């Protein structure tokens, strides 16, 4: 049977490479199409590479612990022409005769395509470092002027302008010169340094891209007694995060523009109310997404939510729960935090932060006196180009109103 390469697939739109963590097959093994054959680690999660078609594994070239860019060869499979054609590994002959003859491996194929100019020398595996040009992710550069010579030098070292935020320049108008930069780099060698994890690098890059927009935050105290009382009455007790997620989804569904994105001169409204929630993982944060939250009840969301929390902590978020959210919930209350300014993801306009609950005196009109109530501050951070303080405040007030009637969520 013909032999075809198995290549590192594109595992996500911002993933440029992945590290082999476990090889699940051996040469001579028969595999089926889409069977898991490698377990890999990206800067976002643990994922699986699947077999491109049914066949027999003839060779494994990947090495555990080594990072391979998208499109790199990591093994070989022997497969029939029919299986290879269905998988796009063989380019069928064309009517004009200009295509490759049937039975010849395609130079490009669908899921595993790679251009000739991008072929990798597999004798020299890539190290795990962020891609700066010609790949993803691409760290953004600030508007601070940097000479072409300095930019070139920074690119050689894998740095961007945000890394120079604390460096005063000696050039005209405080401009950082190449000489300033070299002194800065040499001085760093005198300090203790450790490598940042791929997860930390991904989070840092995401926050840099988020900060290219004008962001603002508003805060409203929300009385949580009704939610806590409702939760006590339930056998399966949903977390406060789920109540807030459901209330946010309903509020957004009433005016989808608040979760829109400004592209040029138009606000693009979301097609679905898909909301993510932050989960602390190893040296970073992952954001699994629950789809169509406005169409689900609390009870329908609880088990998927608990499953996704567990999978996120293991860095095994399923493909169906990755990306595409229009807003994010982050609950920092368990850490005792009472005030914060969360930053929305680059592709989102909104992030809702839940602060720690505290007993507070609240005036009761009926009793004519202050009574103790459990109060939590909700912080909404947003793209100021889309929302102003008033609109953001009204959105928070609507969330608060919905939480006073938790039985309707």
Distance of CA 209 to the CA centre of its chain: 12
Report pLDDT digits (tens) over 256-295. Answer: 999 999 888 889 999 999 999 999 987 788 999 999 999 9
Q: What integer pLDDT is reported at residue 137 of this predicted model?
A: 38
Compute the distance between CA of residue 320 and CA of residue 291 in angstroms, rounded to an integer.
Answer: 9
Q: Give me the architecture of the 3-118 domain, per CATH.
A: Beta Barrel (2.40)
Band the pLDDT of 209: cuts 50, 70, 90. Answer: confident
Per mean pLDDT, which range of 112-121, 129-138, 218-227, 336-345 is the poorest?
Answer: 129-138
- Of the candidates 58, 86, 51, the one whose C-alpha atom is nearest the C-alpha of residue 2 is 58
Q: Give the domain ranges of the chain.
A: 3-118, 129-212, 213-408
Q: Up-side HSE of residue 81: CA atoms within 13 Å toward CB?
A: 7
Q: In what order do the strands lie in the sheet with 73-78?
A: 3-7, 73-78, 55-60, 30-31
Average pLDDT over residues 252-259: 95
Band the pLDDT of 393: cuts 50, 70, 90. Answer: very high
- Please say whether the beta carbons of 18 and 135 come within 8 A: no
Compute the distance between CA of residue 89 and CA of residue 103 in angstroms, rounded to an integer.
Answer: 9
What is the dihedral angle through the alpha carbons of 326, 203, 10, 290, rounded to the nearest 10 degrees? -30
Bridge partners (DSSP) of residue 359 are 374
* Averaged pLDDT score across all residues of the chain: 84
Average pLDDT over residues 71-93: 85
Residue 331 has pLDDT above 50, yes or no: yes
CATH topology of domain 213-408: Chloramphenicol Acetyltransferase (3.30.559)
Instruction: Provide CB contacts within 8 A for 246, sequence distance 6+.
Output: 293, 296, 297, 298, 301, 402, 409
Residue 378 has pLDDT above 90, yes or no: yes
Residue 25 has pLDDT above 90, yes or no: yes
Report pLDDT digits (tens) over 229-247. Answer: 999 999 889 999 999 999 9
Q: What count of other Cβ atoms lies within 10 Å of the Cβ of residue 113?
A: 16
Residue 132 has pLDDT above 80, yes or no: no
Residue 124 has pLDDT above 60, yes or no: no
Q: What integer pLDDT is reported at residue 212 of this predicted model?
A: 85
- Of the candidates 393, 374, 372, 373, the one whose C-alpha atom is nearest the C-alpha of residue 382 is 393
Report pLDDT digits (tens) over 155-194. Answer: 888 887 778 877 877 877 678 888 888 988 888 888 888 8
SS (H, E, C) 175-215: CCCHHHHHHHHHHHCCCCCCCCCHHHHHHHHHHHHHCCCCE
Cα separation values, 401 from 222, 244, 250, 282, 395, Å = 9, 11, 11, 36, 10
Q: What are phi and psi of 188, to 5 degrees?
A: -60, -30
- Of the candidates 345, 363, 361, 343, the one whose C-alpha atom is nearest the C-alpha of residue 353 is 343
Q: For the chain, give the percent of residues with pLDDT over 90.
A: 54
Per CATH, 3-118 and 213-408 having the same topology is answered no
- Please say whether the beta carbons of 37 and 60 come within 8 A: no
Q: Up-side HSE of residue 329: CA atoms within 13 Å toward CB?
A: 28
Q: What integer pLDDT is reported at residue 91 of this predicted model?
A: 67
Measured CA angle at 58 (ends 31, 56), to 5 deg: 25
Per mean pLDDT, which range of 161-170, 230-239, 341-350, 398-407 is the poorest?
Answer: 161-170
């Amino acid at each position: 049977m013909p032999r075809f390469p198995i290549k590192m697939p594109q595992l996500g739109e911002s993933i440029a490479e992945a590290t082999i963590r476990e090889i699940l097959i051996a040469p001579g093994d028969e595999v089926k199409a889409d069977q898991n054959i490698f377990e890999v680690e990206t800067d976002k999660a643990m994922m699986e590479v699947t077999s491109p078609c049914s066949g027999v594994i003839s060779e494994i070239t990947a090495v555990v612990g080594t990072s391979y860019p998208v499109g790199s060869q990591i093994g070989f499979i022997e497969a029939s022409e029919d299986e290879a054609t269905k998988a796009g590994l063989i380019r069928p002959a064309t009517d004009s005769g200009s295509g490759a003859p049937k039975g010849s491996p395609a130079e490009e194929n669908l899921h595993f395509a790679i251009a000739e100019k991008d072929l990798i020398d597999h004798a020299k595996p890539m190290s795990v470092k962020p891609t700066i040009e010609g790949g993803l992710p691409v760290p953004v550069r600030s508007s601070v002027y940097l000479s072409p010579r300095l930019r070139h030098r920074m690119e050689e070292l894998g740095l961007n302008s945000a890394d120079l935020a604390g460096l005063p320049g000696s050039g005209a108008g405080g401009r950082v010169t190449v000489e300033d930069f070299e002194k800065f780099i040499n001085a760093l060698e005198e300090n203790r340094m450790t490598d940042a994890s791929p997860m930390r690098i991904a989070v840092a890059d995401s926050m840099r891209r988020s900060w290219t927009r004008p962001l603002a935050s508003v805060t409203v105290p929300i009385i949580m007694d009704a939610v806590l009382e409702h939760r006590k009455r339930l056998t399966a007790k949903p977390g406060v995060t789920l109540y807030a997620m459901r209330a946010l989804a309903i509020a957004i569904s009433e005016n989808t523009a608040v979760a829109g994105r400004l592209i040029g001169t138009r606000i693009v409204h979301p097609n679905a109310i898909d909301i993510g929630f932050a989960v602390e993982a190893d040296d970073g944060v992952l954001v699994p997404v629950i789809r169509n939250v406005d169409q689900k009840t609390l009870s329908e969301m609880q088990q998927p939510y608990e499953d996704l929390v567990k999978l996120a902590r293991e860095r095994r978020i399923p493909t169906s729960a990755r990306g595409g959210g229009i807003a994010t919930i982050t609950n920092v209350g368990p850490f005792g935090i009472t005030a914060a300014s969360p930053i929305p993801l680059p592709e989102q306009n909104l992030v809702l932060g839940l602060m720690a609950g505290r007993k507070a005196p609240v005036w009761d009109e009926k009793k004519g006196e202050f009574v103790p109530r459990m109060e939590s501050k909700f912080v909404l951070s947003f793209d100021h180009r889309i929302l102003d303080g008033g609109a953001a405040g009204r959105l928070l007030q609507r969330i608060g109103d919905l939480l006073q009637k938790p039985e309707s969520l």
